[in-house]
Amino acid sequence: MSSLPTPSRLLSLRERSRLPSNGDDVDNLEPSGSASPRRSLSNSSRGPERTPRSLARVASASSALSLVSNPNLSLLDSELQVVEDCKEFPVIIVVVGASGDLAHKKTLPALFSLYYHNMLPYCFAVVGYARSKLSTEAFRDVVVSNLVCRTVDRDHCEPKMNSFLERCFYFSGQYDSLQDWQTFDRWLSEDIEVRLRSSTYEGRCSQRASGRLFYLAIPPSVFADTLRGIRHGAMAREQLGAWTRVIVEKPFGRDTESYMALRDVVAECFPEEAIYRIDHYVGKPLVANLTTLRLGNFVFDALWNRHCIESVQVVFKEDFGAEGRAGYFDAYGIIRDILQNHLLQVMSIIAMDPPASPLAGDINEAKLRLLYDMKPLHAKDFIVGQYDRYRSERGVPKDSCTPTFAACVVQIDNERWRGVPFVMLAGKALDERKVYVKVAFRETSNQSFVPEELRNKRNTFYIEIQPRPAVELSFITKTPDLEGRVVQTKLDLVYNESFVVEAQDMPDAYERLISDSIVGDRTLFISDAQISRAWELFDPALKELERDPPTQPVIYPYGSKGPILPETLIKKYMAGKMGD
Ligand code: BG6
């Protein structure tokens, strides 16, 4: 029998997640990021059987109390009820930096898709804020030129696009002008909010003040001014029960020092629970499924340790270079661009101890504990490379040593993983575009069943994050003919083949994350403490690699496999030859 939480069990979940008891404020879920990661890290008990996302939604949403007072509702019903309730609260989604690339290519299309799938509140407005002088009409033209109908049901797409565009508005303002932010605030209250409450929006909205979700799609140079502008000029009407949330995305500084400066500005303007830090890799369907795959299946859960696992690879390959954004890229390099955030996040979900529950606070705690068990990285742990054409890209100095490829072995100093190499590898301009995790199990103790030529093969659990989301388990078997050869084969779950309908409509990572931030589900967001620790882990290596004179990267041909394969790196590590 399934164990749906009883009201009292749910209440205790709610208490653990610090859901405020007035049911109005949904924002106090996560323990403060500054809490010591080693404090009270109880993690041995298995959480309830719901997915983290759905449970956190239940616990985080404003009507959790009504659920507790209505014991007749099943968890599923209550969850749907909660999402429905959230839909009645009007929300203004402000895309700051609305004339930039990120907004056009990711944020605005993601918002349209959410609208198409009825995942946005009934009463919402999307408001672009940027420096460019644009009319709302001109803004709508730019928005529509980037919208696509991903979905199967294309017929209804055009009318939906039109009604989405009617809800898009634009305001031209400077990021560093408090006066502009205040004018913006008045315009939101006196014009946009009034429209939201009018019958144009189907009269389905609650009459309360609108929540304001600010999505910062802006360069780091204007970050601080923007946060202060919002804080002092454009907050939602808190006294009327409305929330303000801010979505921010990397780069979160270049190192610990610059991150701390940024963190101070954020902390001066907003409480931690109002900040939603995105790492879009965490919102990708297969990454969001990793916890369930690992912890929902006895076979994996039981084998997930150093006694059974020999090595783990987390690999990111792109078949194009830094073209078009080399100016930005050269100041950061692949370690800051991919390893310190995307790959580290994936790795921490793969390697964390089971969280006490699927709630955001417990997942944050488990990830943080893992990050503290990781040993800081040094230059000797890395192989760095640069593709041959990189120095002739526009905006790249002729003597740039910025790596476009980096591979390292991470060591985790805890009972579960001691001695197991975790390889992180990322490269641009390689032979293919692919992101995957490969978990290699140890060899069987009785090798007499394995023919000589297969003795170096391992059972592997392969998780392809993109471009073809899939999981595969390789194993050794006999062919069914008279010859009965022993071969290696695999069991696989390819999303496109097994979830034929759902896979046609897979959400983009940004859709999932924006939707979660509106509902107040923090499970897939990154805490301040995780980012601080991530910099502590990578700072020593970055400093050593970039000191004067900097480490010369190995030059590799554009479109090749790069300077080293993950398997070779593992062998090198096993042979104690790293740093040679
Ligand atoms: C971004 C990096 O964070 O992620 C880019 O800055 C990289 O360099 C991109 O290309 C990859 O994201 P995705 O979702 O296309 O794999």
Residue nearest to atom 10 of ligand 1 (CA): 318
3-state secondary structure of 165: helix
Domain shared by 116 and 220, yes or no: yes
Tell me the one-letter amino acid at 253.
G
Closest atom, ligand 1, to C-alpha of 435: 16
The pLDDT assigned to 324 comes to 86
Domain shared by 305 and 437, yes or no: yes
- Residues 402, 565: contact at Cβ < 8 Å? no
Residue nearest to atom 5 of ligand 1 (CA): 337
The pLDDT assigned to 67 comes to 35
Q: Which of 104, 117, 280, 342 is catalytic?
A: 342
Q: pTM of the full predicted structure?
A: 0.85
Q: Is residue 339 part of a domain?
A: yes
CA-to-CA dists, residue 407 to 254, 321, 377, 564, 565, angstroms = 19, 17, 11, 8, 9
Ligand 1 geometric centre to CA of 139 (Å)? 26
Ordered DSSP codes for 53-96: HHHHHHHHSTTHHHHHH-TTS-HHHHHHHHHHHHHTS-EEEEEE
Each residue's pLDDT tens digit, 522-560: 999 999 999 999 999 999 999 999 999 999 999 999 999
Ligand 1 geometric centre to CA of 446 (Å)? 43
Q: Choose the final residue of a domain: 228, 249, 270.
A: 249
Q: Are strands 168-172 and 124-130 parallel, antiparallel or unpaired?
A: parallel
- Residues 95, 127: contact at Cβ < 8 Å? yes
Copy the structure tokens of residue 102.
Answer: 């990120």
Where are the strands (E) in 318-441, listed by range?
382-387, 405-410, 422-427, 434-441
Q: Is residue 422 part of a domain?
A: yes
Q: Choose the final residue of a domain: 194, 224, 249.
A: 249
The pLDDT assigned to 82 comes to 62
Domain shared by 156 and 239, yes or no: yes
Domain shared by 216 and 301, yes or no: no
Each residue's pLDDT tens digit, 103-118: 998 999 999 999 988 8
The pLDDT assigned to 203 comes to 59
Domain shared by 218 and 287, yes or no: no
Copy the structure tokens of residue 365.
Answer: 């705690």
Closest atom, ligand 1, to C-alpha of 337: 6
Tally of domains within the chain: 2
Q: Is residue 86 part of a domain?
A: no
Ligand 1 geometric centre to CA of 316 (Å)? 10
The pLDDT assigned to 189 comes to 93
- Residues 28, 21: contact at Cβ < 8 Å? no
Q: CA nearest 471: which of 480, 479, 462? A: 462
Q: What CATH number is attached to the domain comprising 149? A: 3.40.50.720
Q: What CATH number is attached to the domain comprising 543? A: 3.30.360.10
The answer to whether residue 342 is catalytic is yes
Q: Is residue 457 part of a domain?
A: no
Domain shared by 308 and 238, yes or no: no
Domain shared by 221 and 287, yes or no: no
Q: Is residue 12 part of a domain?
A: no
The pLDDT assigned to 72 comes to 53
3-state secondary structure of 459: coil
Domain shared by 186 and 320, yes or no: no
Taking the CA atoms of the chain, what radius of gyration do you get in angstroms? 25
Domain shared by 410 and 552, yes or no: yes
Phi then psi for 527, rounded to 5 degrees?
A: -80, 160
Return the number of other C-beta atoms located less than 10 Å from residue 156's C-beta.
Answer: 11
Q: Is residue 429 part of a domain?
A: yes
Domain span at residue 420 reads 283-442+502-507+527-574
Residue nearest to atom 6 of ligand 1 (CA): 337
Q: Is residue 270 part of a domain?
A: no
Domain shared by 174 and 296, yes or no: no
Each residue's pLDDT tens digit, 361-419: 999 999 999 999 999 999 999 999 999 999 999 999 999 999 999 999 999 999 999 99
Domain shared by 226 and 323, yes or no: no
Q: Is residue 215 part of a domain?
A: yes
The pLDDT assigned to 319 comes to 98
Domain shared by 186 and 287, yes or no: no
What string of pLDDT tens digits covers the 580 residues of the chain? 333 333 333 333 333 333 333 333 333 323 333 333 333 333 333 333 333 344 434 334 333 333 334 555 554 455 566 666 777 788 999 999 998 888 998 999 999 999 988 889 988 999 999 999 999 999 999 999 988 776 556 667 888 899 999 999 999 999 999 999 999 999 999 999 988 877 555 556 667 788 999 999 998 899 999 999 999 999 998 877 799 999 999 999 999 999 999 999 999 999 999 999 999 999 999 999 999 999 999 999 999 999 999 999 999 999 999 988 898 899 999 999 999 999 999 999 999 999 998 889 999 999 999 999 999 999 999 999 999 999 999 999 999 999 999 999 999 999 999 999 999 999 999 999 999 999 999 998 888 888 888 888 899 999 999 999 999 999 999 999 999 999 999 999 999 999 988 888 888 899 999 999 999 999 999 999 999 999 999 999 999 999 999 999 999 999 999 999 999 999 999 998 877 6
Pocket-forming residues, ligand 1, beta carbon under 6 Å: 280, 318, 337
Mean pLDDT of the chain: 85
Q: In sequence order, which residues have a C-beta less than 8 Å from that of residue 574 and are 6 or more positions away?
A: 421
Per-residue H/E/C for 476-500: EEECCCCCCCEEEEEEEEEHHHHCH
